[in-house]
């Protein structure tokens, strides 16, 4: 099956999300290396540097999940 860009863009949001989730899951199961743009690596290194210099700015994963769980919606 082939689908054009315009057909993808015309899909309802729920169908776009279903496709994104399917692709995301497939990427997660793949053993292939996923290329990242240079800016992603640079941003990761910048954040790592900030965390190394100021470890108190980070949060434990549990507190992050609690914050996410407390959001409305």
DSSP string covering 46-72, please?
Answer: HHHHHHHH-GGG---HHHHHHHHHTS-
Provide the token pair at 40. Answer: 């992603």
Residue 6: what pLDDT?
Answer: 94
Q: Residue 71 has what pLDDT?
A: 83
Residue boundaries of the structural domains of the chain: 5-69
Per residue of the chain (73 residues), give pLDDT as tens. 788 999 999 999 999 999 999 999 999 899 999 899 999 999 999 999 999 999 888 888 899 999 898 987 5
Prediction pTM value: 0.50
């Amino acid at each position: 099956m082939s689908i054009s860009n315009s057909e993808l863009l015309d899909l309802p949001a729920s169908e776009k999300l279903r496709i994104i989730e399917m692709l995301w899951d497939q990427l997660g199961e793949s053993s292939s290396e996923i290329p990242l743009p240079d800016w992603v690596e640079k941003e990761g290194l910048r954040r790592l540097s900030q965390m190394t210099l100021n470890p108190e700015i980070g949060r434990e994963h549990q507190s992050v999940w609690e914050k996410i769980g407390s959001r409305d919606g």
